[in-house]
């Protein structure tokens, strides 16, 4: 059975309690049956990937589960319920991995168990990127980002794009939701600015670690900024 990936995204009015939940909630990310990987994440506009991008009113939880039964049982209520109670808006996206390459904290959380091949998918897809920047290369990376972000914002088939990461700087990531695999592929491989940044990546040595995953989207519930993507 395929892995199940859930992304929860909350809007909260009060920033101080949210920061406290981020600090204390990590202890509840361990020991849940069937939970393979979990990260509490801050979010941002994804324009410059600097501190100025941070959105203190939106916070996320990414979880990867062994199967749908474990995903339906969900995270530890001691983690989940305080966020749900505090949230004025919540979005949840349920997915299964299609392809993944690279590492996140030393592992690939979206790699299917040996021998399993993801089924064919004809529908919306998501992309998750994550990178740990080399401190000495961060400024060069930040200078390269704006043209790509501008292209993402006007990309055909894009339904949602946010920045997401474990820290405001140096641990950078994105979550994008697309109408189809073709729309994502067209952006990734046919957009000049994105192709140019990809071509520079190896020589620029921006990343100490990086990951790209493409996922099939099966369910989108709730809203983000007043609308359902």
* Residue 77: both structure tokens together: 């209520």
pLDDT (0 to 100) of residue 146? 57
Residue 39 has pLDDT above 90, yes or no: yes
pLDDT score at 167? 77
DSSP sequence for 24-68: HHGGGSSS-TTEEEEEEEEEE-SSS-SGGGEEEEEEEEEEEESSH
Percent of the chain beyond pLDDT 90?
60
Instruction: Identify the residue whose tokens are 């190896």.
Output: 202
Fold of 4-222: Alpha-Beta Plaits (3.30.70)
- Name which of 42, 44, 49 is nearest 142 in CA terms: 49
pTM > 0.85: yes or no: yes
Domain ranges of the chain: 4-222
Mean pLDDT of 160-176: 84
């Amino acid at each position: 059975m395929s892995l199940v990936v859930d992304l929860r995204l909350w809007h909260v009015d009060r920033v101080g309690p949210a920061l406290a939940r981020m600090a204390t909630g990590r202890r509840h990310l361990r020991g849940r049956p069937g939970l393979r990987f979990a990260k509490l994440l801050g979010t941002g506009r994804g324009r410059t990937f600097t501190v100025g991008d941070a959105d203190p009113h939106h916070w996320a939880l990414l979880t990867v589960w062994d199967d749908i039964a474990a995903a339906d049982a969900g995270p530890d209520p001691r983690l989940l319920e305080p966020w749900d109670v505090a949230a004025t808006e919540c979005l949840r996206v349920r997915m299964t991995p299609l392809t993944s390459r690279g590492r996140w904290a030393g592992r690939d959380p979206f790699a299917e168990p040996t021998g399993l091949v993801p089924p064919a998918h004809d529908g919306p897809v998501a992309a998750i990127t994550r990178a740990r920047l080399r401190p000495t290369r961060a400024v060069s990376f930040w200078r390269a980002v704006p043209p790509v972000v501008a292209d993402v914002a006007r990309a055909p088939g894009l339904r949602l794009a946010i920045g997401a990461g474990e820290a405001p700087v140096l641990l950078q990531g994105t979550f994008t939701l697309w109408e189809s695999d073709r729309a994502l592929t067209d952006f990734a491989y046919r957009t000049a600015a994105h192709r140019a940044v990809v071509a520079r990546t190896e020589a620029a040595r921006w990343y100490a670690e990086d990951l790209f995953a493409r996922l099939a989207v099966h369910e989108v519930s709730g809203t983000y900024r007043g609308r359902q993507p």
